[in-house]
Amino acid sequence: MKVLMVASECAPFIKTGGLADVVGALPAALSGHDIDCRILLPAYPSLQPLLSDGRQVAQYDDLPGGFGQLVLVTAEGVDLLLLDAPQLFDRPGQPYSTPDGSDWPDNHLRFGALAQAAARVALDGVAAWRPDIVHAHDWQAALTPVYLKQSDQKAPKSVLTIHNIAFQGRFGAHVLSELGLRGDWFHPEALEFHGDLGFLKGGLMFADGITTVSPNYASEILTPQYGMGLEGVLQSRTGVLSGILNGIDTHVWDPSTDPALARGYNARSLGRKVENRARIAQRLGLDPDASGPLFCVISRLTEQKGLDALASTVPHIVKHGGQLALLGSGDATIEQAFKDACQTFPGSVGAVFGYDEEFAHLLQGGSDAILIPSRFEPCGLTQLYGLRYGTLPVVARTGGLADTVIDANVAALSAECATGFVFDDVSASGIEAVLNRVFDRFAEKGQWQMMQRAAMRQAVGWDQSALAYTQLYQDLTG
Ligand code: ADP
């Protein structure tokens, strides 16, 4: 079976978050099920060097935003179809925003073009390759099913995956004609979302299958608390909605071979983690002789991630002998709160503000626990990396975090299956309460190691989920 993945990010080429990790890893996992994937991506500056190794397989004069050519290239073992439209994608900085942080004003054209190119590949094929399934990811690709339904040609079936329903791609109604969308579909049963054009809304209305990235989030987004206004749309489509848990690339994230670590280790040599901790301490100026737990945070700094609440608990962590190492970027107020914490508690709190893939690996390798106090979390990947690295996740009971971490309650501890700490109340007092439980368990070295081993045994790869996607594709193609 042939599947065209359509996305705005794909690791290791372009990444702002978990979407990239998933799009980067899923095709390899699917290849084990005889699924031949190609990934359609915008040719951002980081992908431009690949263009000269590829070959042009299509050109379009009338995409939203003008001309674009498709270049087929194989890189890092995956077949990429790069949408080369320099007027749309050859821009500095993040994929979605200007260097000063505001959204590019023509994002509707940029991602409208991506979706329309996807629909054309799906309908006409390129280089003698035509997909059986088009799998679009998030709002940036969400018009793909709409363009497919709009065509009068026989189209392959479409799947739309929601990686985070908070990001919906909402634009003024006037862009409808610029995008070549049918004016008579501008109503609440199709493309309209409260007077605007909704990219994600439209995709959800027209996709043949809808998935999201954990079973728990699939239920949560049917409610007003988590659905972000799209719960009604999703309720009308529950027949085609399912939750398939994300996996991780267990080769890239393997503590026994990870080149970013000072010392590799496995479940039988957990003592070696201290050498990674020493490297972290060196980089962040932390006290190398501290005996309490080292907590890490690797995250976008946003309210979604609950890091505003976490910042208030730093004195509590330090008072109980813990250390905190943070890697993140985002909201300026949250960043300032952690900068202040670094100044107030030198030797106990350290941070790198920015994006650093290698340091993210080292933090997983050297920390004792990873803090993820998210207010909502579709799946979450950093807790899965934490499990794999024996770095116990401390997570809010939401979305995929609840699906993947087994709380260290009395029953789970006695059954030796606890893998982390789960709590309900994302507030300073709620986080302090769970931290108290972490400090207690950390003091019991044997018990802590038992939890680390249970965490490292947990299956966090793609095997099960690749099977679930394969099944979904098969069901759709009959
Ligand atoms: P989200 O997609 O909501 O940001 P996820 O947990 O699903 O959250 O995925 C986040 C991914 O981005 C993980 O691979 C994590 O390691 C990585 N990450 C987040 N912030 C940073 C950072 N500052 N530097 C390096 N990697 C980061």
pLDDT digits (tens, 9 = 90+) for 37-70: 999 999 999 999 999 999 999 999 999 999 999 9
What pLDDT score does 274 carry? Answer: 98
Ligand 1 lined by 356 (C-beta under 6 Å):
yes
Work out the number of other CB atoms within 10 angstroms of the CB of residue 249: 21
Query: Which residue among 382, 389, 404, 460 has the greatest number of ligand 1 atoms within 8 angstroms of its CB, and so is best to mutate?
Result: 382
Ligand 1 lined by 12 (C-beta under 6 Å):
no
Q: Using the mean position of ligand 1's atoms as its centre, give its distance from the Cα of residue 19 in Å.
A: 9
What pLDDT score does 374 carry? Answer: 98
Chain position carrying tokens 């679009």: 136
The full length of the chain comes to 478
- Cα(58)–Cα(72) distance, integer angstroms: 9
Q: Average of pLDDT values for 256-269?
A: 98
Q: Distances from the Cα of 467 to the Cαs of 5, 90, 427, 437, in angstroms?
A: 17, 36, 38, 37
- Mean pLDDT for the chain overall: 97
Condensed to tens digits (0 to 9), the pLDDT of residues 330-386 reads 999 999 999 999 999 999 999 999 999 999 999 999 999 999 999 999 999 999 999
Query: Which residue among 8, 9, 19, 21 has the greatest number of ligand 1 atoms within 8 angstroms of its CB, and so is best to mutate?
Result: 21
Ligand 1 lined by 21 (C-beta under 6 Å):
yes
In the predicted structure, residue 121 carries a pLDDT above the cut 90: yes
What pLDDT score does 207 carry? Answer: 98
**Range list of H helices, 221-268:** 224-227, 231-235
What pLDDT score does 375 carry? Answer: 98
In the predicted structure, residue 100 carries a pLDDT above the cut 90: no
Contact 52, 84 (CB under 8 A): no
Ligand 1 lined by 382 (C-beta under 6 Å):
yes
DSSP state of 11: T
Q: Average of pLDDT values for 284-306?
A: 97
What pLDDT score does 160 carry? Answer: 98
What pLDDT score does 263 carry? Answer: 98
Work out the number of other CB atoms within 10 angstroms of the CB of residue 462: 23
Ligand 1: residue whose CA is nearest its atom 15: 382
What is the model's pTM? 0.95
Condensed to tens digits (0 to 9), the pLDDT of residues 378-411 reads 999 999 999 999 999 999 999 999 999 999 999 9
Ligand 1 lined by 145 (C-beta under 6 Å):
no
Least confident of 189-193, 248-252, 280-284: 248-252
Q: How much of the chain exceeds pLDDT 90, in percent?
A: 98
Among 358, 223, 214, 336, CA closest to 283: 358
Ligand 1: residue whose CA is nearest its atom 20: 299
What pLDDT score does 204 carry? Answer: 98
- Cα(478)–Cα(476) distance, integer angstroms: 5
Q: Using the mean position of ligand 1's atoms as its centre, give its distance from the Cα of residue 298 in Å.
A: 6
Ligand 1 lined by 275 (C-beta under 6 Å):
no
In the predicted structure, residue 319 carries a pLDDT above the cut 90: yes
Contact 322, 439 (CB under 8 A): yes
Q: Using the mean position of ligand 1's atoms as its centre, give its distance from the Cα of residue 15 in Å.
A: 9
What pLDDT score does 101 carry? Answer: 87
What pLDDT score does 93 carry? Answer: 86
Q: Using the mean position of ligand 1's atoms as its centre, give its distance from the Cα of residue 400 in Å.
A: 15
- Cα(324)–Cα(311) distance, integer angstroms: 11
